[in-house]
Amino acid sequence: MEYFPNPSLLGQRGMAGTGPSVGVTPGRPPGAEEVYLLVQDLRINERREHALLELSKRRESLTDLAPILWHSFGTIVALIQEIVCIYPQLSPPPTLTAPASNRVCNSLALLQCVASHPETRPLFLKAHIPLLLYPFLNTVSKDRPFEYLRLTSLGVIGALVKVDDADVINFLLQTEIIPLCLRIMETGSELSKTVATFIVQKLLLDDMGLTYICATAERFYAVSSVLAKMVTTLQQTPSIRLLKHVIRCYLRLSDNPRAREALRQCLPECLQADPTLQCLPEPIANCLREDSATKRWLSQLLQNLNLR
């Protein structure tokens, strides 16, 4: 039996889509009935692609879309089906096409909506749905369909960590999310690197995450070495938003006594500058001049490490 928050809005639709038309229910936003019908269409193969596109376009304006998606019969199964059917196209030689990538990314956009909502987030985690996205994060092809797929998958994980939730952090730390993000931070596009670094930053900002990463030398150096490589890259290709996340990761690592000692030896020399920024490479100095918060974080980092 189907469940919708307000079944009266659904109206009637026959199997061939020729049922009576649905009028606007008093007190409901225009188009609400159409949304419920689109959700129903996700279960019908012939209508699913159109429904995915339309719902993904409207997801930010529909505050109750996540509960509707989760509680409507067969909807989450349909979205999962869209994800897993793409797996064979990831294997070498990769055969993922742009239309196929766009379609699965529309499914991921709806799952991001579910991951963002406080009512459905715990259910999303309990079902271990984030694990289904890891094959997409594990791809290495730089072709646009793959990059789009990685970026959209990162967006789902980013939506989970954006809200400080201990259950989310605990769940992710039991998975391979950190190695996956580190590889993307090292080899991805600027935007993918930024989202992946944001995810690692959010994990570090949680006490469980900081303890986990600093628990062994291997984990610490895996993170710190990738951050150092990113700083080197940023000297050639500056990015304010990416540099901001990198320095924030370093600053949080310096809160751990063992990591603080290690950072005194492995912090990139180009970040060890005086407050006037005169000793910094020009691209990084210019970025910091445009972002006072990041400049303060760097100053605090150097104080924590007794490098100033």
| φ and ψ at residue 25, rounded to 5 degrees | -75, 130
Query: Exposed, middle or buried, 162 (CB in 10 Å: 0-12/13-18/19+)?
Result: middle
For domain 179-308, the CATH class is: mainly alpha
CA distance 4 to 61: 18
CATH (one of 3.30.70.360, 1.25.10.10, 3.30.300.30, 2.102.10.10) for 1-15+28-163: 1.25.10.10
pLDDT per position as a tens digit, 56-74: 999 988 889 999 999 999 9
- Same CATH fold assignment for domains 1-15+28-163 and 179-308: yes
Tell me the per-residue pLDDT of 124-155, one tens digit each, with 9 for 90 and over.
Answer: 999 999 999 999 999 999 999 999 999 999 99
Q: What is the mean pLDDT of residues 145-174?
A: 97
Write out the H or E segment, with its range, that includes residue 171: helix 166-173
- Residue 299 to residue 188: CA distance in whole angstroms: 28
Report, as an integer, the average pLDDT of 109-115. 97
Given this model, what pLDDT does residue 10 score? 32
Mean pLDDT of the chain: 88
Q: Are 84 and 129 in contact (CB under 8 A)?
A: no
Residue 31 pLDDT: 65
Residue 28 confidence (pLDDT) above 80: no
64-101 pLDDT per residue, tens? 999 999 999 999 999 999 999 999 999 888 899 999 99
Most confidently predicted of 10-14, 139-143, 291-295:
139-143
Query: What does the pLDDT average to over 243-260?
Result: 96
Residue 31 gets the label, from left (phi > 0), alpha (psi -120 to 50) or beta, of left
As a whole-number percent, the residues of the chain with pLDDT over 70 amount to: 87
- The residue-averaged pLDDT of 25-41 equals 73
Residue 97, pLDDT score:
96
Q: Name residues whose C-beta falls within 8 Å of residue 253's C-beta, 6 or more positions apart in sequence.
A: 204, 210, 213, 214, 220, 223, 224, 259, 260, 263
Query: What 3-state class would DSSP assign to 192?
Result: helix
pLDDT at 273: 67
- What ranges do the domains of the chain cover? 1-15+28-163, 179-308
